[in-house]
Structure formats: structure tokens, C-alpha cells
């Protein structure tokens, strides 16, 4: 989901009274042996891939060639070489390094899409790395004038059925504007998805046949059929959408659904299943088809007491990730209870194999995530993940080399963790260290107690607290979270006296 805006980071607030808002998490068959559909097997290849993003509007990645929406083979090969050189190993048939290309979107022509897939497979064979494909299922379709011309294909915010002005993606300090939110169950959209999936699936199936014949089928990681799938909000008004889909479900202002949220959740899941089944029909092995939803708190959604949980996650409640049509996939930016929530829903669903479709070891707010990249990978691979797809490698080129996303993904400790995984060595999950939740709790306590404490304290103690508070504000501005955490401890130490 993270486009150019998110890579720029989140602007922090400048007063201690707003510190919590600055860091607030919103409340509330041919390869690698036998594998039962939906489950994990002892012989299933585990993939560590890096997302190569095409620089389409809203996405941060290398710009495509003029007149194209995809990257050239040379661009793909350059990216892969940079990853392999930095890590120093490509792994093996049990622990495989790879790359994922995307977004494969509606704006790409069929001819260009087929060539993009062929080029990606060619690079994978030549570099002996795995390849995966990441589909933008509904956001980048602004060049599909045939679909956009029909209001029935555009979502609405109420029963008046006025088409939305654009899809809002809160991927950074300012919202990203995509073409209008697609109506997932309109007949034309359903037909377009089937056709699009047939093109992608058939080309992948053809290339996979060649890999299998060469004994290299493990170089295909799979297809991620979605890009944080969901029904979003209208760009200009921020209103929740989905009423056109409800109308297609047979509801109206006179006969509304008993639970509009759950009806829209059903629409989202049926759309995801349409993609999954269509890809399988076209020839992609079902156990290599994954979904991509984001249901955990990851620092980007503004708190809104009027919004239901379903609205906050764009009607992609975690349960939609589980279906016979695909395997579960999630965004995994480690903020708040991200992994605790993911592990819990997986356990309730029988602990199937799953993937991280998007993430890296940093919060979108700029806070550090897990204590180490090895711990971050362990939170997934040690808990049933079969594919981890990391974002931000190389994004923005040299101009953004110091970006906090890039540093988290390309730093020395991260490189060592990747090599460790690819050698098949155990991944240790470190305990303790900085946590987002712990720091937030300290800031909230300071806000609650500092004023009363100051009223009972002497002049020297008050001056000391003021200096520490100013230092805390500055560290938060600079995203120096470890030091900010220590200063918060010093302030709390004063208050406790």
C-alpha cells in the first residue's frame, strides 16, 4: 500500500501535549513436494522476496519506460542483481531468495502484461532466484475509460447513488488520490476481473510449465491477488463507500440491510474469491494464490469514534483472508499488536500457511519495529509464514537512500538476517527492547501526571522537567525513538519521587 507519500514519513507534532497524537495507534503441486491445499508442509519452500514496484501514480518505484506501465527486463534484472549482491546468497529449494513485481494493474494492456510476466520469469531463471507477482486488483484503473464511463461500476456513499470522486488512500502525511473506488460486484467489473485474471494466470501457467520441466518449479513464489483489498472512502468527502455494491445485493433505502457493514464485508470477500478462483481456472496452482488485506493498527488510520471496526479496515475484516479460493496474506508493519493480532486470527482458523504480502521492520510513523530484522522475520517464519515480501528496497534511488524505510530494509543487521534465513539457520526472536505500545503508555502517563506533579514540586525540579520535556519533543520530531524512550523514563522517574 505504501506509495511515494508514505515513504516521506509522518510529520511529528511540536508540543508535548500532541506527542500522543504523533505516535498514536488507532484504538480499537509441481514444486517442493506435497502440500495440502491451504496448509503448510514440511517440504514447502519458504520465500523471502523483495517488492520491485513500478512507479505508477501513487506507487513509489522506478519509473516505467515512456508509454508503458511496466518495467523493462533490464530494470528488473538491475534490481535483482542489487539484492543478490547485497545479501550474498540466493538460498536453495527450501529457503529461497526472490523478488515480486507489481502492481500488475488494469491499466496495463494484455500485451504489456504478458511481456512483463515473461521478462520476470526470464530474470528469475537467469539469476536463480524466485519470482512472485503482486496484483493491484482495483486501484490503478484510470485508463480503463470503458469501465469508468459506466456509473454502475463506481461506488457511492449513500442511497442517492452519486459516484465517488476518487479513492482515498491514507498512505502518508497527505492522502493519495486514486481513480474512483470500483464497485466490486457490478456485472462489468466482474467480467473485467475474469478477463484480467485469465491473461495473468495463463501466462504464469505457461512459464511455470517451463520451470517445472527444468526442475526449477520452486522458483515460482506465487501470486498475491490484491493490494490491501477493501472498499475505501471518497477522496473529497472522506465518506465511507459501498452503497452501489449494496444495491447490487438487492438492498435499497426502503429495504436496507440489517447489517450494512457485514454485507460490505461479504462483498469484499466475494471479490477476493473472484480473483482467486479466476487465477486458478487460468492455470495458477491454487496453493500459490494468496490474498492481501490490512486489518491491524499500523499507524495510518485516524481515530474516529464514529467509525465501526469494519469501516476502519475498509470492510476487510481478518476473516475474509480465509477461503478455499486463496491462502491468507497480510500487511505486517510491526506497530502495536500487529503480530499478536495476526497470530491470534491464524490460530482461530487452524494455523494455515500464510504470507506477509507487504511490510518491513519499521512502523509507518517512523518508529522502529521489532528489536532486530531477525526478530521481525522470526515473528513470521517461526509462526507458519511461507512467504515474506519486503517493501522499500531501493525505493527512490540515491535521493532517498537515508529514508527510514530504506534503512530498515537495507541495513547491515537486516542483510545478516536475510542471509541467516537463506542458510536455513534458526531465527531468534528477541524479547524486550523498545516497543510502540510501551512508549505510548509512557507518554500518556506523562500527560496525565506531569501537571499535577509540577504543582507540588520545587522550582529546580520544575526546570528539570521542562528541559526533559523539550528534549523529548525534539527527539520525537527527529524520530529518535530509542533516546526518546529513555528521556520519557527520566521524566517518569521525576514524577515518581
Task: Note the pLDDT tens digit of each residue in 438-457.
Answer: 787 888 889 888 888 888 88
What per-residue confidence (pLDDT) applies to 16? 43
What contacts 97, CB < 8 A, 6 or more positions away?
47, 48, 49, 83, 84, 87, 89, 90, 91, 129, 130, 418, 422
Mean pLDDT of 377-389: 97
Over residues 47-97, the pLDDT tens digits come to: 999 999 887 776 777 888 888 889 999 999 999 999 999 999 999 989 999
Share of the chain above pLDDT 90, in %: 64
Q: What are the residues whose beta carbons fall under 8 Å from the beta carbon of 459, sequence distance 6 or more? A: none
Q: Residue 434: what pLDDT?
A: 67
Query: 159 pLDDT exceeds 90?
Result: yes
Confidence band of 5 (pLDDT split at 50, 70, 90): very low
Distance CA 448, CA 20 (A): 11
Q: Are 84 and 394 in contact (CB under 8 A)?
A: no
SS3 434: coil
3, 175 in Cβ contact below 8 A? no
Neighbouring CB atoms inside 10 A of 127's CB total 20
Nine cell digits for residue 169: 488512500
Q: Which of 65-79, 202-216, 249-263, 407-421 has the lowest mean pLDDT?
A: 65-79
Q: What is the pLDDT of residue 451?
A: 86
Q: What is the pLDDT of residue 56?
A: 77
pLDDT at 476: 80
pLDDT higher than threshold 80 for residue 277: yes
The upper half-sphere exposure of residue 179, i.e. CA atoms within 13 Å in the direction of its Cβ, equals: 22
Quick check: 337 pLDDT over 70?
A: yes
pLDDT score recorded for residue 298: 65
Provide CB contacts within 8 A for 441, sequence distance 6+.
none
What is the spatial distance between Cα 45 and Cα 95, in angstroms, rounded to a whole number? 6
How far apart are the C-alpha atoms of 148 and 178, rounded to whole Å? 13
Beta strands (DSSP E) in 158-267 are 167-169, 176-178, 220-225, 233-234
Q: What is the C-alpha separation between 332 and 343, in angstroms, rounded?
A: 11
Location of C-alpha cell 508535548 = 16
Residue 123: the pLDDT is 98
Integer Cα distance of 388 and 376 in angstroms: 10
Does 7 score more than 60 pLDDT? no
> At 28, is the pLDDT very low, low, confident or very high (cuts 50, 70, 90)?
very low
> For the chain, what's the residue count?
497
> 474-497 pLDDT, tens per residue?
888 776 777 888 888 889 888 887
If DSSP codes are grouped into helix, strand and coil, which group holds residue 1?
Answer: coil
Q: Who wins on pLDDT, 345 or 405?
A: 345
pLDDT for residue 18 is more than 70: no
Least Cα distance to 204 among 145, 259, 124 occurs for: 124
Q: How far is residue 438's CA from residue 433's CA, in Å, rounded to a whole number? A: 10
Q: Distance between CA atoms of 223 and 217, rounded to whole angstroms?
A: 14
pLDDT, tens digit (0-9, with 9 covering 90-100), for 100-132: 999 999 999 999 999 999 999 999 999 999 999
**pLDDT confidence of residue 176:** 86
- Kindly indicate the confidence band of residue 42, based on its pLDDT and cuts at 50, 70 and 90: low
Name the pLDDT band for 260 (thresholds 50, 70, 90). Answer: very high
Q: Where are the domains of the chain?
A: 4-8+40-432, 437-496
- What is the band of 459 on the pLDDT scale with cuts at 50, 70, 90? confident
- Give the pLDDT of residue 305: 56
Q: 151 is written with which cell numbers?
A: 456509473
> Above 60 in pLDDT, residue 419?
yes
Cα distance between residue 230 and residue 136, in whole Å: 12
pLDDT for residue 429 is more than 80: yes
Topology given in CATH for the domain delimited by 4-8+40-432: TIM Barrel (3.20.20)
Residue 303's pLDDT band (boundaries 50, 70, 90)?
A: low
SS3 188: helix
Please give the average per-residue pLDDT across 158-180, as a whole number: 88
Identify the pLDDT of residue 447.
Answer: 87
Per the listing, cell 542458510 goes with: 423
* Pairing between β-strand 176-178 and β-strand 167-169 as defined by DSSP bridges: antiparallel
What is the arithmetic mean of pLDDT over 148-165?
A: 96
Amino acid at each position: 500500500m505504501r506509495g511515494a507519500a508514505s515513504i516521506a514519513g509522518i510529520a511529528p507534532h511540536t508540543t508535548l501535549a500532541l506527542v500522543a497524537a504523533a505516535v498514536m495507534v488507532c484504538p480499537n503441486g509441481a514444486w517442493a513436494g506435497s502440500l495440502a491445499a491451504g496448509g503448510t508442509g514440511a517440504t514447502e519452500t519458504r520465500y523471502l522476496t523483495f517488492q520491485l514496484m513500478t512507479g505508477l501514480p501513487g506507487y513509489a518505484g522506478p519509473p516505467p519506460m515512456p508509454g508503458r506501465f511496466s518495467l523493462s527486463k533490464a530494470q528488473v534484472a538491475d534490481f535483482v542483481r542489487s539484492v543478490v549482491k547485497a545479501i550474498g546468497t540466493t538460498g536453495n529449494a527450501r529457503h529461497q531468495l526472490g523478488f515480486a513485481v507489481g502492481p500488475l494493474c488494469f491499466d496495463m494492456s494484455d500485451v504489456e502484461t504478458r511481456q512483463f510476466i515473461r521478462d520476470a520469469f526470464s530474470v528469475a531463471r537467469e539469476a536463480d532466484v524466485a519470482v512472485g507477482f503482486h496484483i493491484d486488483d482495483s486501484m490503478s484503473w484510470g485508463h480503463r475509460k470503458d469501465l469508468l464511463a459506466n456509473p454502475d461500476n463506481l461506488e457511492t456513499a449513500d442511497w442517492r447513488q452519486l459516484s465517488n470522486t476518487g479513492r482515498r488512500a491514507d498512505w502518508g502525511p497527505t492522502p493519495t488520490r486514486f481513480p474512483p473506488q470500483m464497485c466490486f460486484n457490478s456485472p462489468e467489473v466482474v467480467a473485467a476481473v475474469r478477463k484480467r485474471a485469465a491473461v495473468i494466470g495463463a501466462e504464469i501457467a505457461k512459464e511455470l510449465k517451463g520451470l517445472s520441466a527444468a526442475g526449477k518449479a520452486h522458483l515460482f513464489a506465487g501470486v498475491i491477488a490484491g493490494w490491501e483489498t477493501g472498499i475505501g472512502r471518497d477522496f473529497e468527502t472522506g465518506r465511507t463507500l459501498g452503497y452501489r455494491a449494496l444495491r447490487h445485493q438487492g438492498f435499497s433505502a426502503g429495504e436496507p440491510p440489517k447489517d450494512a457493514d457485514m454485507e460490505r464485508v461479504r462483498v469484499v470477500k466475494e471479490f477476493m474469491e473472484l480473483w482467486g478462483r479466476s487465477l486458478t481456472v487460468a492455470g495458477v496452482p491454487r496453493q500459490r494464490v494468496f490474498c492481501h488485506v490490512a486489518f491491524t493498527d499500523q499507524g495510518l488510520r485516524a481515530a474516529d469514534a464514529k467509525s465501526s471496526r469494519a469501516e476502519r479496515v475498509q470492510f476487510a475484516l481478518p476473516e475474509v483472508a480465509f477461503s478455499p479460493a486463496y491462502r491468507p496474506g497480510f500487511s505486517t508493519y510491526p506497530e502495536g499488536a500487529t503480530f499478536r493480532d495476526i497470530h491470534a486470527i491464524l490460530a482461530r482458523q487452524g494455523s494455515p500457511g500464510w504470507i506477509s504480502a507487504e511490510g518491513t521492520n519499521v512502523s509507518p510513523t517512523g518508529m522502529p519495529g521489532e528489536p532486530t530484522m531477525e526478530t521481525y522475520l522470526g515473528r513470521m517464519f517461526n509462526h507458519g509464514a511461507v512467504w515474506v515480501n519486503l517493501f522499500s528496497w531501493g525505493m527512490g534511488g540515491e535521493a532517498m537512500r537515508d529514508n527510514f524505510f530504506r534503512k530498515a530494509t537495507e541495513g547491515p543487521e537486516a542483510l545478516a538476517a536475510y542471509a541467516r534465513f537463506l542458510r536455513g539457520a534458526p531465527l531468534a526472536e528477541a524479547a524486550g527492547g523498545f516497543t510502540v505500545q510501551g512508549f505510548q503508555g509512557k507518554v500518556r502517563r506523562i500527560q496525565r501526571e506531569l501537571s499535577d506533579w509540577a504543582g507540588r514540586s520545587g522550582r529546580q525540579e520544575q526546570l528539570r522537567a521542562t528541559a526533559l520535556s523539550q528534549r523529548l519533543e525534539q527527539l520525537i520530531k527527529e524520530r529518535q525513538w530509542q533516546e526518546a524512550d529513555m528521556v520519557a523514563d527520566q521524566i517518569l522517574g521525576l514524577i515518581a519521587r
